[in-house]
Amino acid sequence: MAFTQDGSQYSFGGLVVQIAGQDYIMQDISITQGTNVVDLEGSDGSIISQVFVSRPNEASGTAVVENNKPLLKRGDEFSFKIHATDQNNTNFLITETSVTKSNGSFSTQSFSARERLN
């Protein structure tokens, strides 16, 4: 994603979230909403019923991190509205990170996160 500089401000056009009091730009972020399916089998082995259980939302994406800010780490929390029609933010807990490149004043960092339910 291209960015432009306007004075001392950089514009990436991404989502800005706050983590541990610092603003981070999410260059891209994807949300996965999965389901586990439990099959109940009859005595002949045929499926007689199914139960669908929603899994917590999972997120993955790329953050643009200024080199004077700490990198994202496992356990960091952030929240945002997944969709404009959502009434509340969804809270996420970062579960995995990797630095993908460093360039000038910024680094990009891939991450995975899972919805925090409590």
Two tokens at 15? 């989502």
Task: Give me the CATH code for the 4-115 domain, please.
Answer: 2.40.30
How is the chain split into domains, by residue range?
A: 4-115
* pLDDT (0 to 100) of residue 14: 74
Residue in 36, 17, 19, 39 with CA at minimum distance from that of residue 27: 17
Q: Tokens for 36?
A: 């586990």
Q: Which two tokens stand for residue 45?
A: 């082995």
Per-residue pLDDT of the chain (118 residues; tens, 9 = 90+): 444 445 555 555 578 899 999 999 898 899 999 999 999 999 999 999 999 999 999 999 999 888 888 999 999 999 999 988 999 999 999 999 998 767 678 888 999 999 998 7
In this predicted structure, what is the pLDDT of residue 67? Answer: 85
Task: Single out the residue of 21, 10, 107 nearest to residue 66, CA to CA.
Answer: 107
